[in-house]
Every structure is written in structure tokens, then in C-alpha cells.
Amino acid sequence: MTLKRAFANLIDNAVNCGAGARVVLEDKGQHILVRIEDDGPGIPEGAMQFVFEPFRRLETSRNHGTGQRAWPHHCRRAVEQHGGILRLITMPAGGLGVCILLPKARDAIGSQ
């Protein structure tokens, strides 16, 4: 999976799983933090540990609609192949947050 496809899938998931979705970008020096947040039901406590297992499908209300969801382990692998980190968090008011920390391109870092 390409990084572009991973972002598209994660954003699509956020849009389809909640009443609202946000994408926030933050400059973190030599890195960019991307947060993709939704107001959906989130992932049940106790199921978060299984999210990144290959071929694992969680039975939650997040699986409504077309039933096509990004496999989180593919998205995480795409991010890691670019030197990044992907983490999932439960939002304080409910919903799911995907936090992606990616290094800036070497050319961009050198021009600062």
C-alpha cells in the first residue's frame, strides 16, 4: 500500500464512521504530525490490542456501510516504510484518533 492510499483509506474511514471528521497537520520541527479524528463509536476497550493484527476484522459498529475498511496494519506498514509512526488513540469525547508522525523530506529540513 502506498502512503497516499493509506491516507485516503484512513480519511475515508473517519468520514464514514462518525458524525464528523477532522484532519489536522502540525509542524513538529523535523517531523509533520497528521491527526485524523472522527466522532464515531471508536474502538471498544480491549479490542485496541488486536487492531494491527493482519487479517483481523473487529466486530464493532465501525463496520457499517460498505463494509470496506482500511486494514490498519497495511496503513501502519506504509507509514513505517517512510520512517513514520502510526498510533491510534481514543478521543476524550469519543471517537477514534489516528496520529501519524512522519519525517520531513531531507530537502525541506535542509532549507529551514
Long-range contacts of 33-36 (CB under 8 A, 24+ apart): 33/99, 33/100, 33/101, 34/7, 34/99, 34/100, 34/101, 34/102, 35/97, 35/98, 35/99, 35/100, 36/7, 36/10, 36/11, 36/97, 36/98, 36/100
**Could you give the domains of the chain?**
3-110 (3.30.565.10)
For the stretch 18-43, pLDDT in tens is: 778 999 999 999 999 999 999 988 88
Check whether 104 has a pLDDT greater than 50: yes
Please determine, for residue 6, whether its predicted confidence score (pLDDT) is greater than 90: yes
What does pTM read for this prediction? 0.79
Low-confidence winner among 1-5, 19-23, 46-50, 61-65 (lowest mean pLDDT): 61-65
Look at 27-36, 76-85, 88-97 and tell me which has the smallest mean pLDDT: 88-97
